Amino acid sequence: MDVWNDISKKISDAVDYTAKETGKLTGIAKIKYKVVNLRSKRSGLYEEIGKLRYEELRSVPTDDGVIDNTIEITALCDAITAINADINAASEELAKLRKFKHCVSCGIRIRPGMSFCPKCGTKQA
């Protein structure tokens, strides 16, 4: 009877572990998808800034002056800053799910168990 209890416990533990890891992988995939979408949105904003700036540079002065897109460009820059913050937050969330740590000296993300930082060479605690 003990053999069957041991087998049942091992199966139950395996199912629990599999469910936990599946949830973790799903979470990672969702965050990666979010980052890809944010980067795409950011690229579109950069493109829009370029178009507005090009329009300014190529405009022909008139009696009203020249085209000035400063307000629109500033708003787009603010949107990019917000997207960058969202990307950084999502990257931090990914790091936590993947159990990364940060270098004690330069702060870059490194894999757990690394003894030295691959960027600055500092020994890790």
Read off the pLDDT of residues 27-83 as tens digits, 9 standing for 90 and up.
889 999 999 999 999 999 999 999 999 999 988 777 778 889 999 999 999 999 999
Decide if 124 contacts 115 (C-beta within 8 A).
yes
Helix or strand or coil: residue 32?
helix
- Within 10 angstroms of residue 5's Cβ, the number of other Cβ atoms is 9
pLDDT at 84 exceeding the cut of 90: yes
Tokens coding 91: 């990257």
Answer whether 0.85 is exceeded by the pTM. no
Could you tell me whether strands 109-110 and 101-102 are parallel, antiparallel, or unpaired per DSSP bridges? antiparallel
Alpha-carbon separation of residue 65 from 61, 74, 108 (angstroms): 5, 20, 48
